[in-house]
Structure 1
């Protein structure tokens, strides 16, 4: 990791919500822009297609992007989102795991893994994923709440 990423990760632990929000936004920006303008434009087009209920075209676009740039973690993450929205949780899990392999600090993919595991009823795996996300983003109230909800479902 580079020093700027290390500084942003440190800022995710800051007591100031403003500092944490800026760091979160900056990390997402880094991830979306990992492959420059070409990659960013493709991600934006996929999002536009998804918003227009053209999920098959968005998925195809992201699959092609992944073929062309297999180390582009955010392309994998965006496709995982589509799979999750379509209820294809195993495919979403596989893509999220690839994101985390490529970018171990990707709290979004860890959160997504938790959501997928919860959706299929694997609450222990969901809790573990949300906890891993909390190691990176310790102030995430959403992940804290989801851990509680999954813990309740285990009892």
Structure 2
């Protein structure tokens, strides 16, 4: 991936202009989804179709095969984490989120997912840490700010 482009997009995430932040977010997601070119993108789309049709086991099998074939494809790990979160398998989702951020330490979506998993498991301190890590990357993200407040309230 183009490091100069990514650096610019990360700086854009910190801009006060919401349109600039939204554009940067969209472009980062596109880069992450296209990390493995059309090959990876098509398989991610195929898994999403299975998910949307309620074929969760089919979607998971596709993603697991993609991960086996392309273990450095961060977005494949992240997509499987999302699926596992939807299925309520928070511990497995958390493992996939952690692998995603090992491969892409700037993946705000995976940090957000880690926070959601920790919160669902009642690990509010860990959830807060993950949501704060997301805010390090996307400081204007209101959802993660709200989730930190909710988790903090649960600790009281």
Query: After TM superposition, is the score higher than 0.5?
Result: yes
Q: CA RMSD in A?
A: 0.6
Cα distance in 1 for partners of 2:91, 2:152 equals 22
5+ residue gaps, structure 1, are none
Residue number in structure 2 paired with 1:92: 93
Q: Please tell me whether residue 50 in structure 1 is matched to residue 23 in structure 2.
A: no
CA distance in 2, matches of 1:148, 1:48: 35
SS at match of 2:139: coil
Number of positions where the alignment pairs a residue of Structure 1 with one of Structure 2: 155
Match of 2:67 in 1: 66
Q: Spell out the pairing of 1:1-155 with structure 2 (5 A cutoff).
A: 2-155=3-156
Q: 1:123, CA displacement in angstroms?
A: 0.2
TM-score (norm: length of structure 1) = 0.99
Alpha-carbon offset, residue 28 of structure 1: 0.1
Please report the TM-score for the alignment, with normalisation by the length of structure 2: 0.99
In the TM superposition, structure 1's runs of 4+ consecutive aligned residues that sit over 4 Å from their partners are: none
- Partner deviation per Cα, 1:3-40 (whole Å, 9 max, x = no partner): 00000000000000000000000000000000000000
Q: Which runs of 5+ in 2 are unaligned?
A: none
Return the alpha-carbon distance in structure 1 between the equivalents of residues 88 and 75 of structure 2. 20
